[in-house]
Structure 1
């Protein structure tokens, strides 16, 4: 470990009431992890972090630390907070390389996990470590879901995601790539083939549309589709991005890295949905930001906006009389995503919410007995660490369910 990381560990006050732990959505026991490391028990710290959060190596990189562990650290009140995420990133990444799996006594029950994003990986790893026979059904050719196809490689390396593919092999978790549930295979087919429980962690991959003229033009694209394979797109030099969430920031930074010279993000109000960190990274990379631009339509020349009027509280109170045409080679719509509905449409009694997300009870079970869900497919687009936290509950609920039937 680099000496600066040990210096950072030595700064920890070992608070009796660790606010950093309260600020962490998955309640990582940061003081205990730091204390183990300081006392030469790094192996124990690594294992503890992984057991609490199988995606600790990922969360250490992409979590919004300013609002979570670091933001709640008491040291931040008068100075610099403990950057535990730097310590976690180092030890958790190393642990993925050396993790060994002791022989596990196999149980009879087979469990299907649909989707290999944060939710699916978490559930699969937890259940496999308990001896269940787990098969992951993945729509794409490689595992990772949003980690691989929704987060740019410069933020989260695919090499790190590949390490989880190796862990799946060590745990004897089977993967069926290029397999869509709700197509050739349906939920009922899984039950027919003796899967005793099914977990749905398919995330939200359908772009949310604006319902305006111009969305089908050849120079208009959706943000989540662009991030999945930016090399397939030719955006030109001037790019307009509709939206200011984290996906929009990733789109902007990716477009700049792929040759765009003028990248501008537009928001209808003065509210920014993205985290401060992601906003500042996008600004540092060269993106520009325009507020009070309400999208009206998109033409081949670029987007057309109604320009907002604000009151003293920065609330929109009206719009200018004449819309404004913005010149852009490409326009990218990045205003959130919704869940695909193939599984819902092909599964009897599987009930969605008004937003098309899966409804679950307190035990993460859907309206179909034996079918569970967690993560973005339940709540809509959210952070990785929130998906992992809920998926831990889902894994326990699946085990309780199987033990009761």
Structure 2
């Protein structure tokens, strides 16, 4: 590992206009600067720079779609192999989290509620706690992390990494209320009434979207987002049909194989696959197959029923064959799309969603209720961890401004939290 990442760092051209940062990264990670610090063996400073810009850097280094982001924009990739910054970032960020010593800042008298503890919620909680806000996280499940804990399999993202973030949050004085659903016994109005100066909503998209086909309620059908919460609790059998070809579908397929399925097939309506190329390759290496041109029509007791697409010269679907294709499968997993749950909207006066059920926010990420902000998948729809972080950073700054606190640069907040230099234990 050490030899590999040093060689990769040496390949960086330190471009004057780094497209990897400016065009490739949704949070504009300071890639050339981080690599330069790493090459100078200034590991703590490189880690602090990454963490200050993106607290989820250690996670993003593992789960980001690098081939379409930083590495896809690397100029070395135009004529050869791009610099694999993901490996460098993973080493630096992981080491930094292991060594950092957190200093709790002086309280500023502001109280903040964070509803949901996924990537967006953790980012907002960290940034506001760094500024001295008293932060309370409300999480409906038993563990924090949201999609990091319950949506990404542990063979892709180690659970110990999520627990490190909880340790950092606790060291900053953040309180966590697990197994607490806002929109049930407690509502957003209750939080405002109890004196929280602002509220952040980062509840994600945990409601599977129905396909609206016959047989969707059968006992041999599972929604992908539900399956990934705890794959061990489902008996999927030997043959599994996965409807969808996004990243969730790939995670479902790989998890099913690990749970004993012998034949796992993913079905795509066209020849377009929305999952990242890396995840497709991993799924196929694990033994999953992808079948294109299959539009789901129904699900019966024996498995899915498809219309088979007819493709034109340009690879587009021009029609469908008359005969239906009945596929035998023990379990059908629908991993097509997902949306936010509507508890908050139904229990909060004035909180408006759009036609997709996503929360409506203004340019400052404030919802239609003053003092309540939102970012991440509950605003944008299901996207990546790094996109959630990008929105959460802006929302956190907007919340500081709303509470009458000056918005400082990342470096200043990082210095207050960890001291001038991060020291090893």
Equivalent residue number for residue 363 of structure 2: 362
Which piece of structure 1 moves more, 393-402 or 157-166? Answer: 157-166
5 Å-filtered alignment, 1:74-153, equals 74-153=75-154
Equivalent residue number for residue 282 of structure 2: 281
Which piece of structure 1 moves more, 126-135 or 212-221? Answer: 212-221
Q: Tell me whether 1:9 sits opposite 2:9 in the alignment.
A: yes
| Count of residue pairs brought into register by the alignment | 405
- Structure 1 CA distance, aligned partners of 2:156 and 2:405? 42
Instruction: Report deviation, 1:65.
Output: 0.6
5 Å-filtered alignment, 1:155-174, equals 155-174=156-175
Instruction: Report deviation, 1:4.
Output: 2.4
The SS at the match of 1:322 is strand
Equivalent residue number for residue 20 of structure 1: 20
Equivalent residue number for residue 320 of structure 1: 321
- Structure 2 CA distance, aligned partners of 1:237 and 1:125? 44
Instruction: Report deviation, 1:7.
Output: 2.0
Unaligned runs of 5+ in 2: 407-425
Residues 404/78 of structure 1: CA separation in 2 closer, same or farther (3 Å cut): closer
Which piece of structure 1 moves more, 99-108 or 300-309? Answer: 99-108
- Structure 2 CA distance, aligned partners of 1:222 and 1:81? 37
Deviations 1:66-103 (A, max 9, x none): 11111111111122211111011011011111211224
The SS at the match of 1:215 is coil
- Structure 1 CA distance, aligned partners of 2:309 and 2:5? 48
Equivalent residue number for residue 69 of structure 1: 70
Which piece of structure 1 moves more, 365-374 or 82-91? Answer: 82-91
Q: What's the RMSD between the two structures over aligned residues?
A: 1.1
- Structure 2 CA distance, aligned partners of 1:347 and 1:250? 34
- Structure 1 CA distance, aligned partners of 2:103 and 2:186? 34
The SS at the match of 1:320 is strand
Q: Is the 8 A contact 2:129 2:172 kept in 1?
A: yes
Instruction: Report deviation, 1:324.
Output: 1.2
Deviations 1:345-401 (A, max 9, x none): 000010100000000000000000000000100010000000001100000000000
- Structure 2 CA distance, aligned partners of 1:48 and 1:378? 27
- Structure 2 CA distance, aligned partners of 1:96 and 1:404? 27
Equivalent residue number for residue 218 of structure 1: 219
5 Å-filtered alignment, 1:197-212, equals 197-212=198-213
The SS at the match of 1:58 is helix
Deviations 1:295-324 (A, max 9, x none): 111011000111111111222222111211
Instruction: Report deviation, 1:164.
Output: 0.7
Q: Is the 8 A contact 2:104 2:173 kept in 1?
A: no
Instruction: Report deviation, 1:291.
Output: 1.1
- Structure 2 CA distance, aligned partners of 1:268 and 1:71? 27
The SS at the match of 2:390 is helix
Instruction: Report deviation, 1:3.
Output: 2.7
What is the TM-score with the length of structure 1 in the denominator? 0.98
Which piece of structure 1 moves more, 101-110 or 247-256? Answer: 101-110
- Structure 2 CA distance, aligned partners of 1:366 and 1:354? 15
Q: Is the 8 A contact 2:21 2:30 kept in 1?
A: yes
Instruction: Report deviation, 1:108.
Output: 1.1
Residues 404/38 of structure 1: CA separation in 2 closer, same or farther (3 Å cut): closer
Instruction: Report deviation, 1:404.
Output: 7.4
- Structure 2 CA distance, aligned partners of 1:383 and 1:4? 27
- Structure 2 CA distance, aligned partners of 1:161 and 1:318? 46
5 Å-filtered alignment, 1:21-36, equals 21-22=21-22, 23-36=24-37
5 Å-filtered alignment, 1:335-346, equals 335-346=336-347
Equivalent residue number for residue 236 of structure 1: 237
Q: Tell me whether 1:270 sits opposite 2:287 in the alignment.
A: no
Dislocated runs of 4+, deviation >6 Å = none
Unaligned runs of 5+ in 1: none
- Structure 2 CA distance, aligned partners of 1:14 and 1:304? 53
Q: Is the 8 A contact 2:104 2:171 kept in 1?
A: no
- Structure 1 CA distance, aligned partners of 2:3 and 2:245? 38
